Amino acid sequence: MIKKIEAIIQPFKLDEVKEALRAIGVDGMTILEVRGHGRQRGHTEIYRGQEYQVDLLPKIKLEIVAPHNRVEQIATALIHAARTGSIGDGKIFVSDIAEAIRIRNEDRGEDAL
Residue ranges binding another protein (CB under 8 A): 45-50, 52, 54
Strand 90-97, strand 2-9: pairing: antiparallel
Our CB check for another protein shows the closer of 50 and 105 to be: 50
CB 39 within 8 A of CB 103: no
Q: Shortest gap between Cβ of 16 and another protein (angstroms)?
A: 25
Tally: H helices and E strands in the chain:
2, 6
The minimum distance between CB 53 and another protein, in angstroms, equals 8
Closer residue to another protein (CB): 45 or 72: 45
